[in-house]
A = this chain, B = another copy of it.
Amino acid sequence: MTRHETAFADLEAAFPGRIERGEAVRAQHGAGDSWHPAALPDAVFMARTTEEVAQAVKLCAAHGCPIVPFGAGSCIEGQVNATQGGLCIDLSQMAKLLRVSPEDMDCTVQTGLTRQALNEELRATGLFLPIDIGAHATLGGMASTRASGTMTVRHGTMADLVMGLTVVLPDGQIVRTGGRARKSSSGYDLTHLFIGAEGTLGIITELTLRLTGIPEASKAGLYSFPSIEAATQTVVEALQFGLCLNRIELMDALQVKAINAYNKTELPEQPTLLVDLAGSEQQVDTDRDTFDELASENGAELHPVATPEDYSKVWALRHSALYAARGLRPGCKSLSTDVCVPVSELPRILAETSADLDAEGIIAPMHGHVGDGNFHLVMLFDEEDAAEKARVQAAHGRLVERAIALGGTATGEHGVGLGKKSYLEAEHGAGLELMKVLKRAVDPANLMNPGKIFDL
């Protein structure tokens, strides 16, 4: 019995047999992919339509019952942990492609569709959604964390690709934001209000998305560098040359070692850049030559990625980075974190962080979308060893403070959830209070994913 039984009784009456209370289902919904202690919702509802979401939200609102929206649960900062209990609304069954316009290169989807499934459905049109993240996430979840990934250097983040949304507000009202025009100056930007709000302002049920043509050609390259500095210097130069970069990813020597062990490969265990160029055949060839030169001048060794099979293999290796990192200390927990700084500050923050981690004896492979100035550390620790855990958390805090001090941000793509809450004051100053003003206005009863991003 929880204090929300009256809400659940009404929900059960409205959706007979569909309000799940079993331990197993609740456990699947209470933790995401994070190191934060699981916190199970009291009940789970798998919604099928916008109207069902609106009805469930209204019933919860009437009883003051907290609501946690749930996509695929791949979040890393504890965003779906139901720290105040309540109802988890799982949106993964709302997974239809509703319409696509090849002429306008846009589409509208239900929130629970994954980007992999979307791109599969779009294949025949020659279009795709150019967001490449390392998880099987839902598009609504990706919008809600302002997700981005390997192709962001070229195509931007979810904030750049969502043209409009259907959202259920905390009082159950349905609002449509944005639209299908490529641009608009018609009033406040409601779409961006919900992107990155981590479900604290409402529940996204549909998204209109900008698509891109599948490029004529794309070619990858793998480059081993003598140092992190040499690799990041190459990144800065390639960006300034305006090469047709589609992805530019950095891994440190330890991350490459982890990947070798996890995938039984034999990449040189050095700082490594993985590069993808996309465009016309001609442009890709010219630009790869230029990139090869830049990399060579910075001391890199080049490893050909010649065939389509090589190409797929290389990117599969990159996407194994998180699990490979965790594999370095089996049975350990991992504090996965991401920060983002101006690209020119990458050498400095990486050097300072690496010195810090070495001094503390912390094992933490690094990989990142360095074209955006974004990188991840997977900091491994033994959950039973309180001292080690505290050391890891303290080093993590110093990393985030360093990023903020260099004009960067506490999180480039994973979001705030529970894990980054304590840094928001340092990053945003008076802006944090303004965020709270918005939250109080849109969700006065604090029912939508309460306790995430900030406390009221």
- Chain B residue nearest to A237 in the complex (CB): B103
Determine whether the beta carbon of B187 is less than 8 Å from that of A416. Answer: yes
- Chain B residue nearest to A159 in the complex (CB): B189
A412 CB-CB contact with B under 8 Å: yes
In the docked arrangement, what's the CA distance between A181 and B400, Å? Answer: 13
Determine whether the beta carbon of B441 is less than 8 Å from that of A438. Answer: yes
Given the contacts A181-B409, A408-B180, A440-B441, A186 and B416 also touching, CB distance less than 8 Å: yes
Determine whether the beta carbon of A188 is less than 8 Å from that of B179. Answer: no
8 A Cβ contacts from A362-382 to B: 372-374
Determine whether the beta carbon of A186 is less than 8 Å from that of B427. Answer: yes
Contact of A344 among B103, B201, B442 (CB under 8 A): B103
Which interface class (under 10, 10 to 19, 20 to 34, 35 or more) fits A?
A: 35 or more
Determine whether the beta carbon of B185 is less than 8 Å from that of A413. Answer: yes
Determine whether the beta carbon of B409 is less than 8 Å from that of A186. Answer: yes
A177 CB-CB contact with B under 8 Å: yes
- Chain B proximity of A3: nearest CB distance (Å): 28
Given the contacts A186-B420, A340-B182, A169 and B103 also touching, CB distance less than 8 Å: no
- Chain B proximity of A401: nearest CB distance (Å): 13
Determine whether the beta carbon of B429 is less than 8 Å from that of A101. Answer: no
Q: Give the number of times this chain occurs in the complex, counting copies.
A: 2
In the docked arrangement, what's the CA distance between A343 and B286, Å? Answer: 33
8 A Cβ contacts from A414-428 to B: 414-416, 420, 423-424, 427-428
Determine whether the beta carbon of B429 is less than 8 Å from that of A175. Answer: yes
- Chain B proximity of A389: nearest CB distance (Å): 24
Determine whether the beta carbon of B187 is less than 8 Å from that of A435. Answer: yes
Determine whether the beta carbon of B431 is less than 8 Å from that of A344. Answer: no
Determine whether the beta carbon of B340 is less than 8 Å from that of A177. Answer: no
In the docked arrangement, what's the CA distance between A259 and B61, Å? Answer: 59
25 A-B pairs with CB atoms under 8 Å apart are A104-B373, A160-B160, A179-B407, A180-B341, A180-B342, A180-B408, A181-B341, A181-B342, A183-B412, A185-B411, A185-B414, A186-B416, A186-B420, A186-B427, A188-B197, A188-B435, A188-B438, A190-B428, A215-B242, A282-B283, A434-B442, A437-B441, A437-B442, A438-B438, A438-B441
15 further contact pairs, Cβ within 8 A, besides A146-B185, A187-B416: A146-B184, A173-B430, A175-B434, A176-B428, A176-B431, A181-B372, A181-B374, A183-B409, A185-B196, A185-B413, A186-B424, A187-B196, A187-B431, A192-B193, A438-B438
